[in-house]
C-alpha cells in the first residue's frame, strides 16, 4: 500500500470523530470494506429524523452524473448535513464531469460513491481531484495468508478470542469472501456458550459444518509432515462428502500453499520473521509450516507439484479427462505430492 493511501480503519476513525469529507469515492474488488464505510455513513451520520429529508440513496444505472451533482448542491433541511450515496457507481457514465463539482463542493453535503468490482484509473485527473478534497479509497482483496489475522482481529473487536486452528479452518473453508466470512463469524459469536469467550475448532465443527479432523487445513498439515496415513484418511473423507469438500476448494488451498512455498525458497532470510515478511504473512508463526515443508520438499519437486495441481484443476473441469472422478483425481494428486 502506498504511503498516502488511507485505510478503512482510518476512515472509520475519522467518521466516528465526526470529521466528514465532502466526497468519498469507495472502489475496488473487495465489496466488504466499501459496504462497511458506506453503511456507517448511512446509519450514523444523520439521526432517524434527519434521514427523512436528508438521506438519498441512488443507483448508478438509474441516474447520471449531472443529476448526482444537482442533488449534491442542495442544502440540507433542518440538519447540518445531507448524505447522498451512489451505489453501483461503476455504472455511471461521464464520471469526469464530477470535476466541476469538486472545484467547489457543497460543505454540508457528504457524497459517497460505491464503485465495486473495479477501480478508477489513478492516473486520471479526476482521481487526483477527488483526493484533494475528499477520500479516494481502494478496497483490495485479502490474500489467503492474511485471512487468519483478519479473523482474529474481527473476533477481538467482538470481545471474543479464537484459537489459531479454528481461524485457519474458517479461512480454508470460506476463503477470501469477507462478507460471507464475517457472516460465519457472527454465527460463531452468537452460538458461543454462556460465559465462554474463546472459539474452538469444536465449535467451528458444530456450527459451520467443517470437520475439525478432516478439512483442508489438516490435509495441508499432513502434506507438510508427509504423513501418508493421515492424508489418505482425509481425502477418503472428502470423497465420501463431496458437497462439503469440493475439489476446487482443496486445489485452491494446495495451489496457494505450494506457490508460497516456491516463493519462500527465494526469501533472503529463512527465519520465521524473514519468511513471514517476504510472503506478506501477518504473523511469524504462519511461516513455520513453510520452514518445515522446505525440509521435506525440494524446489524442483515443489515446482512439479504446482504443475500437477494445475493439471488436476484442468482435468476436474473436463479438460483431457473423460472418466476419472474428483475423488480419483485428488487421490492421484496426493500420491504425486507425497512420493
Q: What confidence tens digit (pLDDT) does each residue in 283-315 have?
A: 677 788 899 999 999 999 999 999 999 999 999
Q: What confidence tens digit (pLDDT) does each residue in 211-224 have?
A: 888 888 889 999 99
Looking at residue 48, what is its pLDDT?
Answer: 94
Query: What ranges in 134-271 are assigned the alpha helix state H?
Result: 147-157, 164-174, 178-190, 201-208, 216-224, 228-240, 247-264
Q: Where are the domains of the chain?
A: 8-139, 147-338
Measured CA to CA, the distance from residue 98 to residue 103 in angstroms comes to 9
Task: Supply the mean pLDDT for the chain.
Answer: 91
Q: Which fold has domain 147-338?
A: Zinc Finger, Delta Prime; domain 3 (1.20.272)
Looking at residue 3, what is its pLDDT?
Answer: 47
Looking at residue 265, what is its pLDDT?
Answer: 92
Measured CA to CA, the distance from residue 234 to residue 239 in angstroms comes to 9
- The most distant pair of C-alpha atoms in the chain lies apart, rounded to whole Å, by 73
The rounded Cα 227 to chain-centroid distance in angstroms is: 31
Measured CA to CA, the distance from residue 141 to residue 233 in angstroms comes to 33
C-alpha cell at 167: 481461524
Helix H, strand E, coil C: the string for 279-335 is: HCCCCHHHHHHHHHHHHHCCHHHHHHHHHHHHHHHHHHCCCCCCCCCHHHHHHHHHH
| pTM for the model | 0.70
Q: Running DSSP on this structure, what letter comes out for residue 266?
A: T
Looking at residue 32, what is its pLDDT?
Answer: 93
Say yes or no: domain 8-139 is CATH 3.40.1350.10: no
Looking at residue 4, what is its pLDDT?
Answer: 63
Q: What is the number of other CB atoms lying within 10 angstroms of the CB of residue 5? A: 13
Residues of the chain with pLDDT under 70: 1-4, 282-283
Q: In the chain, what percentage of residues exceed pLDDT 90?
A: 66
Amino acid at each position: 500500500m502506498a504511503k498516502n493511501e488511507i485505510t478503512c480503519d482510518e476512515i472509520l476513525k475519522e467518521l466516528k470523530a465526526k470529521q466528514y469529507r465532502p466526497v468519498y469515492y469507495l472502489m475496488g474488488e473487495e465489496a466488504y470494506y466499501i459496504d462497511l464505510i458506506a453503511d456507517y455513513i448511512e446509519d450514523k451520520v444523520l439521526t432517524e429524523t434527519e434521514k427523512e429529508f436528508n438521506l438519498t440513496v441512488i443507483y448508478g444505472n438509474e441516474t447520471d452524473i449531472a443529476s448526482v451533482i444537482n442533488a449534491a448542491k442542495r442544502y440540507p433541511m433542518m440538519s447540518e448535513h445531507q448524505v447522498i450515496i451512489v451505489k453501483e457507481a461503476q455504472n455511471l457514465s461521464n464520471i469526469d464531469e464530477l470535476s466541476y463539482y469538486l472545484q467547489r463542493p457543497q460543505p454540508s453535503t457528504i457524497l459517497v460513491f460505491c464503485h465495486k468490482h473495479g477501480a478508477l484509473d489513478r492516473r486520471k485527473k479526476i482521481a487526483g481531484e477527488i483526493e484533494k478534497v475528499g477520500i479516494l479509497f481502494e478496497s483490495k482483496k485479502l490474500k489467503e495468508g492474511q485471512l487468519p489475522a483478519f479473523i482474529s482481529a474481527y473476533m477481538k473487536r467482538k470481545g471474543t478470542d479464537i484459537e489459531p486452528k479454528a481461524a485457519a479452518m474458517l479461512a480454508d473453508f470460506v476463503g477470501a469472501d469477507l462478507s460471507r466470512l464475517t457472516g460465519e463469524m457472527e454465527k460463531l459469536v452468537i452460538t458461543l456458550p454462556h460465559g465462554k469467550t474463546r472459539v474452538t475448532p469444536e465449535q467451528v465443527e458444530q456450527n459451520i459444518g467443517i470437520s475439525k479432523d478432516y478439512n483442508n487445513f489438516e490435509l495441508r498439515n499432513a502434506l507438510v509432515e508427509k504423513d501418508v496415513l493421515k492424508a489418505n484418511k482425509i481425502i477418503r473423507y472428502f470423497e465420501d462428502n463431496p458437497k462439503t469438500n469440493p475439489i476446487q476448494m482443496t486445489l485452491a488451498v494446495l495451489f496457494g500453499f505450494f506457490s508460497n512455498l516456491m516463493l519462500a525458497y527465494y526469501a533472503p532470510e529463512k527465519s520465521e520473521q524473514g519468511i513471514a515478511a517476504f510472503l506478506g504473512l501477518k504473523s511469524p508463526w504462519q511461516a513455520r509450516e513453510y520452514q518445515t515443508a522446505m525440509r521435506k520438499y525440494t524446489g524442483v519437486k515443489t515446482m512439479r507439484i504446482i504443475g500437477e495441481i494445475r493439471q488436476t484443476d484442468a482435468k476436474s473441469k473436463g479438460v483431457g479427462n473423460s472418466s476419472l472422478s474428483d475423488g480419483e483425481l485428488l487421490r492421484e494428486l496426493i500420491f504425486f505430492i507425497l512420493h
